[in-house]
Structure 1
Amino acid sequence: MSAAASSTSQPAPVTVTTTAGAVRGSRAGRPGIAAFLGIPYAEPPVGPLRFAAPQPARPWDGVRDAGAYGPPPPQAGALGMDVLAGGDADESWLTVNVWTPEPDPGARLPVLVWIPGGAYVIGTAALPEYDGALLASGGAVVVTLNYRLGIEGFALLDGAPANRGLLDQVAALEWVRDNIAAFGGDPDRVTVFGQSAGGGSVAALLAVPRAAGLFRRAVAQSVQGTFFSPELAADVAAACAAELGLRPTAADFATVHPARLPAAGDAVSAKIAGWRDQWGPITSRPIPFAPVVDGEVLPVTPWQALAAGAGRDVGLLVTLARDEHRLFSLIDGVLGQVSEEQADTALHLLAPGPDGARRYREAQPGAGPEELYELVNSDWLFRMPSLFLAEAQRAGGGRVHVAELTWSAPGLGGILGACHGLDVPLVFGNLAAGQPAALIGDLPNPEAEALSAAMRTAWTSFAAHGDPGWPAYEAGQRLVRLLDVPPAVAADPEGPSRRLWQDHAFAPLPLITG
């Protein structure tokens, strides 16, 4: 083949003009989809901008290549993510990626903006499981983003705004508002979606005044329900500072290279059980960072905000998984080995109310220690925060749909059931990409493919029209879509746990001083 013939076989590049300058994408991936990767939505948060609110990206001359992901923000050591980040000298972490079927301002397609999860300490939009090409092929523009994590994004420091990671997300949504039409998206039909800490971020954005009007709909998947009081966040920051011999101030932390900071958070995580009397439930996982209800960036918890009507004009889809905690039991090495003592400790630490442990046992009279351990961990961290986000939205006069993943993953011998993270490959359709794909097992898997197609259709339909294809969640029946093969609709399938938690306030987690 001649060089001329070879060059003509390559997909032609695609150029789009943003408010900061032109970017050149590619159609080299999925046919019919143009991808634009690593577009800066804010200036690198280093130097004078370290621990500051994000600032808009400076304009550039010429055409910027958008053929590679931007570097990940500094990562904690969990799941080897620190090795993946590699301490890259490039600190341009704050980037977005766009996949579009029609990079034409007249297309006006619905937009799905993904916020990665990872306990607020790991996560990057460059992971292969977040490739948005297949999801975009259903008729939507898909955007994924990076935001600051750990100490950089969420430590409460003197001299720095709280919730810098959330402010990054707001800045990315402002970029979407100002630029997505050029990629074929409709800025009036933006849906923000995320899972785990990404779902917690979606919940938080519903309560962040600066995010008002930046999205029309929201999908909160397996909402991580941890929101810190300023007192708790300050105590955790002081512990991180002590690991480095510093004061918990932005000025002191700015003397440490960003790549070194996650190790301080990891050191606190490794010893977190020693703070159980002060920090309470967050020592169970451990969870050293989360959004802070600081009274300014995040004035109140998402549950308070939605119950007061903050989401009345935002369509909401909430999802949870039946077996949320089983994956963590495997990671922790206790799957199949939970003792009565471990179950009792978890029940007394996490169950709501002074007699929560007793009430859990009474509500599940035939449950053994493993089932109780998994249930209370799942309910505390993900399932009840998610379900009660829906309850708050309904109470505040907003519309909400609820779904529960009940399809059992066949991967790893089928031991994990409908576990945390299984929804990610199903929503994106990347059934053989990245770590979550191991949950799917060997391909082809007709059940996984059918469920993935149904979920992608539901998510894009919700983004386009506000209707995922099943009834809204209302008082009385509390209808929930069961994401399974075949799918079904059930009334109040988590009623026993819902009733156990119905009087729980979901207040900011306190620093325990008594």
Structure 2
Amino acid sequence: MVFVALALSLLLATSTVLGSPIARLHDPFPPTPKTPKGLLCNLPIPMVQKLLCPRQIANSDPAVITPLGTAHGVDDTANAVRFAVRYGTAARWEPSSVVTSWQLPNGNTNASSLPLACPQDGIDEDAMSEDCLSLLLYVPTSISPGSDVPTMMWIHGGSFTQGSATFPGLDGSNFAAATGSIVAVIQYRLGALGLMAPNGNMNLAVQDVMTAMNFLQTVLPSFGGSPSKITIAGQSSGATMIRALLATPSASSLFQSAILQSDPMDYGFLSAATQQTLQTYFNGLLPCSTTDVSCLNNISIDDLLGFTDNLSNTALTLDQSVGLGEPLRVVRDGSLITTPLDDTAPFPAVSKPIMVSNVKNEAGLSIYSDNAFPDSVAPTLYDEVVEGTFGDPDTSFVLANPNYAIPPSAQNNANTDARPTLEKLGTDQIWRCPGWTFARNWIGGGGNAYVGLYVVGASYPGNDAVSFCTESGIVCHQDDIEIVFGTVPSPTSQQATLTAEMQARYKAFMNTGNPNVAGHANWQLATASDVHALTLGGSGEVAAGGCDPSFFGDVVQYDYQKFDI
């Protein structure tokens, strides 16, 4: 729905990014890193670690014998042990492979050291490295080899260009202890290094995640985990990655179930033709031929990040199907990822149980940001934004839908602010409605799906840059992360109650494929006609509104339908 986004840019003097504000709805404020303090955290100086790196203080040195060697960990809390490990190796722009021995990340010798992030904008140079295929394993002290417990493997978000296993809220010790399960928080190659190989290798980042799962298959029994009980979970582009894995036949045996939080499914996967267009442009930025491996390997990280930014900022002018939220993303290449998992092709037979969730105000970060609409939006401008996003004839359908129409009584009211309606429209278009469509398709393919909507959250670090996201009752993109992990600082009673509920539901789902537990409301399975979306943090089911199957995906098409990708 960004096919007329260029025209809209002329309307918005406040916009600094090409395209419509609705099309821009995805990770506008990537999470603020839990900053590794450069190399200081790796220095064996107790006072430095105590002041700057509290997560890295080793209270003891738990050791576990694995088929790959001895794993050394640290007591992350009184109830869980953390193990940092390098799970894979990869030459630049080549597929990754599983390590053959247990290694601490980045050549560390101290088990309390955290892995460096994959190269990305926004963090210090000494906090990142291309040698970044690492994960953090959180193991409850209550389990032992032979326990056969499930594992949640978490895939972080960040629009495929940012994020790491050490970002805020992702300490898995509380979740592990509460659920009696193992938690693995992984990293994978980002940006051009993971998705734009000059030699034509596609989906390297997806293959990295599969490498991590293969690594876990080997080592989990040593920690008391079952290789056959891996649930993959992730938020935002991490959930997009999970959808890609669900569309990858060769990954199917590596996990049993999936949890997708806030996946912007409206975008779809990139087509191979679009990927080639982007690849040709990116290769033209490089100071080397695509066959000069030595030269390609010597391009600095700073230059590569600059080339990635150039491509991201130009992508929409090269091919409008990329959108603006995830212009670099996974590709339906026909070999690894073989199906779009959407309405553009027959849906395959499926069997894995899935959970699909959204937050109430997914679009709030974008709509209310300084780059879009920091001030009130008049009804006339709202109409122009809808026109610039959807074009004809869809604009008339959207404005006629009572869920997205400004009431006649408010049209000429000087105090009317259309941003709440615009935020609702963006949330439904990009996240909620395509997620519900996906769930209905999944049921039609033979699988089980549970759908939910968070109406209680915890403001994610960095979200306070948009005051709307700090208001009572608002749950913005990312505000579900700390609820699930149990890492909300000083939680309210509502937050603590929802955390306990969601961890109990996740525990049940990881063990049985069903998130229903005693003491909590019955969570009905989605059906082909009614997804039965449960209110998470509230009561009852969520009304379909514009996500009724007769509107989005039918009268008004999703991006993946519009561009047939």
Global fold match (TM > 0.5): yes
Aligned pair in 2 of structure 1 residues 492, 444: CA closer, same or farther (>3 Å)?
closer
CA distance in 2, matches of 1:116, 1:282: 21
**8 Å contact kept, 1:112–1:142:** yes
1:403-418 mapped onto 2 (5 Å cutoff): 403-407=452-456, 412=467, 413-414=470-471, 417-418=474-475
| Partner in structure 2 of residue 100 of structure 1 | 139
1:220-262: CA deviation from partner (whole Å, max 9, x where unpaired): 0111223111222222233334444556778464441234312
Report if aligned partners of 1:232, 1:511 keep a CA contact under 8 Å in 2.
no
- Cα distance in 2 between the residues matched to 1:408 and 1:106: 36
The letter for the 1-side match of 2:183 is: V
Deviation string, structure 1 residues 82-124 (Cα, Å, up to 9, x no partner)? x24x255743200111111145221111110000000010010
1:4 corresponding residue in structure 2: none
**What's the CA shift string for 1:457-508, capped at 9, x where partnerless?**
2122211221212111123443111112xx3231643454643223347648
Identify which of 41, 58, 72 aligns with 2:87: 41
Q: What displacement does 1:347 show?
A: 3.2
Q: Residues 330-369 of structure 1 correspond to what in structure 2 (within 5 A)?
A: 330-331=368-369, 332-338=371-377, 343-344=382-383, 346-348=385-387, 350-351=389-390, 355-363=393-401, 364-366=404-406, 369=418
Decide whether the 8 Å contact of 2:367 with 2:419 is kept in 1.
no
- Which residue number corresponds to residue 493 of structure 1? 544
For 2:131 and 2:435, the matched residues in 1 are separated by: 33
Q: Does 1:265 align with 2:308?
A: yes
Of residues 31, 50, 62, the one that matches 2:92 is 50
Distance 1:61 1:73, change over 3 A: closer
1:256 aligns to 2:256 (yes or no): no
Would the aligned equivalents of 2:451 and 2:526 in 1 still touch at CA under 8 Å?
A: yes
CA contact (8 A) 1:426 1:452 kept: yes
Taking structure 2 as the reference length, the TM-score comes to 0.76
Distance 2:216 2:345 in 1: 24
Q: Are 2:240 and 1:197 aligned?
A: no
1-side partners of 2:446 and 2:213: how far apart? 25
**Matched residue, 1:430:** 487
Q: Which residue of 1 aligns with 2:427?
A: 378
Q: Specify the alignment match of 1:150 in structure 2.
A: 191
CA 1:144–1:508: 2 relative to 1, 3 Å: farther
Q: Which amino acid aligns with 1:291?
A: V
Q: Note the 1:151-170 alignment, pairs <5 A.
A: 151-155=192-196, 157-170=197-210
CA offset digits 1:422-447 (Å, max 9, x no partner): 11111111113xxxxxxxxxx34221
Deviation at 1:375, TM superposition (A): 3.3
Question: Which aligned pairs between 1:119-198 and structure 2 lie closer than 5 A?
Answer: 119-138=159-178, 139-155=180-196, 157-198=197-238
Letter in 1 for 2:337: L
Counterpart in 2 of 1:91? Answer: 130
- Structure 1 pair 295/244, CA: closer, same or farther in 2 (3 Å)? same
Distance of aligned partners of 1:250 and 1:317 in 2 relative to their CA distance in 1, 3 Å threshold = farther
Q: Secondary structure at the match of 1:147?
A: coil
Task: Label 1:459 to 1:377 Cα distance change in 2 as closer, same or farther (>3 A).
Answer: same
1:327 maps to 2:373: no
- The CA distance in 2 between the partners of 1:247 and 1:376, in whole Å, is 45
1:489 aligned counterpart, secondary structure: coil
Runs (5+) with no aligned partner, structure 1: 1-8, 433-442
Q: Deviations over 1:333-378 (max 9, x none)?
A: 5244446676456534654x95222211111333664244323432
1:473 corresponds to:
526
| Cα distance change of structure 1 residues 477 and 377 upon mapping to structure 2, 3 Å threshold | closer
Q: Secondary structure at the match of 1:190?
A: strand
Q: Comparing 468-477 with 493-502, which one deviates more in the overlay?
A: 493-502
Q: Which moved more, 1:11-20 or 1:461-470?
A: 11-20
Among all aligned residue pairs of Structure 1 and Structure 2, give the percentage whose two residues are the same amino acid: 22
Q: Secondary structure at the match of 1:220?
A: strand
The answer to whether the Cα contact below 8 Å between 1:279 and 1:510 also exists between their aligned partners in 2 is: no
Out of 494, 500, 503, which is 1:453 matched to? Answer: 500
Find 1:16's aligned residue among 61, 64, 70. Answer: 64
Cα displacement (A) at 1:181: 1.4
The answer to whether the Cα contact below 8 Å between 1:281 and 1:350 also exists between their aligned partners in 2 is: no
CA 396–336 in structure 1, closer or farther in 2 if over 3 Å, else same: farther
Residue 169 to residue 131, structure 1, CA distance change in 2 (3 Å): same
Counterpart among 487, 502, 506 of residue 553 in structure 2: 502
Alignment of 1:2-13 (within 5 A): 11-13=59-61
Cross-structure match for 2:331 = 292
Provide the rounded CA distance (Å) in 1 between the counterparts of 2:246 and 2:539. 29
Evaluate the alpha carbon distance shift between residue 42 and residue 304 of structure 1 in structure 2; reply closer, same or farther with a 3 A threshold: farther
Q: Which amino acid aligns with 1:15?
A: A
Task: Indicate how the Cα distance of structure 1 residues 143 and 61 shifts in structure 2: closer, same or farther if over 3 A, else same.
Answer: closer
Structure 1 348/202 Cα, relative in aligned 2: closer, same or farther at 3 Å?
farther
C-alpha separation in 2, matches of 1:136 and 1:207? 28
1:281, CA displacement in angstroms? 5.5
Q: 1:74 aligns with which of 83, 98, 119?
A: 119
Q: Would the alpha carbon gap of residues 501 and 126 (structure 1) be closer, same or farther in structure 2, given more than 3 Å must change? A: same
Contact 2:453 2:542 in 1 (8 A): no
SS at match of 1:143: strand
The normalised TM-score by structure 1 is 0.83
The number of aligned residues is 473
Q: What letter is aligned with 1:163?
A: N
Identify which range, 243-252 or 194-203, moves more after superposition.
243-252
- RMSD, aligned α-carbons: 3.1
